[in-house]
């Protein structure tokens, strides 16, 4: 059953990425079609057509937007997606290393600008934000399951100091590393009685 036009229009206005590939929209005045998440200027409603597929849009005479590349959603091979997945796997595996954007770009053979732009486009986060998430997840595991001091955990997971560690941890969890550890210990009082509030 085809989606209601008002739902599709609201998704376009809000740039809702979860509708990418579900439908496409074309602008009659430019003969260009886009993904719902495209960040181009919102067209007038009366100039918009909706399509179930990129093929349908192209058959109606619309060209794919060069900014959001809706035609790539239905492509079999996506070279950008391939190397971005490689970057994600690299950061998940070698999160302790002191990665910079330039060093990471050299590692995968692209410019730092291209890496930053494409990585954020595909994942919704910058490489630094993604790496911080990986490091914080590992820190959460160590805080809950080990007796290591918070300072030691900070350096073990790759942060260069307590300030950036605590800032990233609070941003991603809503609490400090100490508060997180104490919360986890209270959830398992019998198992962790000796470690309660040790720091």
What number of other Cβ atoms are within 10 A of residue 110's Cβ? 19
Q: How are strands ordered across the β-sheet holding 24-27?
A: 48-51, 24-27, 32-34, 63-64
- The predicted structure's pLDDT at residue 76: 40
Residue 183 token pair: 């919360």
Distance between the two ends of the chain, CA-based, in angstroms?
58
Contact present, 3 and 39 (Cβ < 8 Å): no
**Cα–Cα distance for residue pair 131/105, rounded to 1 Å:** 14
87-98 pLDDT tens trace: 988 999 999 999
Query: Which regions of the chain are under pLDDT 70?
Result: 1-2, 74-79, 189-199
- The predicted structure's pLDDT at residue 149: 96
3-class SS string, 73-107: HHCCCCHHHHHHHHHHHHHHHCCCCCCCHHHHHHH
- The predicted structure's pLDDT at residue 31: 92
- The reported pTM is 0.58
- The predicted structure's pLDDT at residue 82: 75
CATH of segment(s) 5-74: 3.40.10.10
**Cα–Cα distance for residue pair 121/80, rounded to 1 Å:** 10
So where are the chain's domains? Answer: 5-74, 79-187
Enzyme catalytic residues = 34, 38, 65, 68
**Cα–Cα distance for residue pair 38/60, rounded to 1 Å:** 20
50-95 pLDDT tens trace: 998 888 898 898 999 988 989 887 654 456 777 888 898 899 999 9
Burial of 65 (0-12, 13-18, 19+ CB in 10 A): buried
CATH of segment(s) 79-187: 1.10.10.60
- The predicted structure's pLDDT at residue 79: 64
**Cα–Cα distance for residue pair 165/93, rounded to 1 Å:** 19
């Amino acid at each position: 059953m085809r989606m209601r036009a008002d739902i599709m229009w609201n998704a376009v206005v809000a740039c809702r990425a979860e509708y990418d590939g579900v439908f496409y929209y074309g602008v009659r005045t430019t003969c260009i079609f886009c993904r719902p998440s495209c960040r181009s200027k919102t067209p007038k409603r009366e100039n918009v057509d909706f399509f179930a597929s990129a093929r349908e849009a192209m058959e109606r005479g619309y060209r794919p937007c060069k900014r959001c590349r809706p035609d790539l959603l239905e492509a079999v091979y996506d070279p950008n997606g391939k190397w971005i997945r490689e970057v994600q796997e690299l950061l998940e595996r070698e999160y302790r290393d002191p990665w910079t954007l330039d060093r990471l770009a050299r590692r995968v053979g692209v410019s730092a600008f291209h890496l930053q732009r494409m990585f954020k486009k595909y994942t919704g986060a910058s490489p630094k934000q993604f790496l911080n998430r990986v490091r914080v997840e590992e820190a959460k595991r160590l805080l809950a399951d080990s007796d290591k001091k918070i300072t030691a955990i900070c350096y073990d997971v790759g942060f260069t100091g307590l300030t950036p560690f605590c800032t990233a941890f609070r941003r991603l969890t809503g609490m400090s590393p100490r508060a997180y550890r104490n919360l986890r210990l209270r959830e398992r009082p019998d198992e962790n009685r000796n470690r309660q509030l040790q720091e």
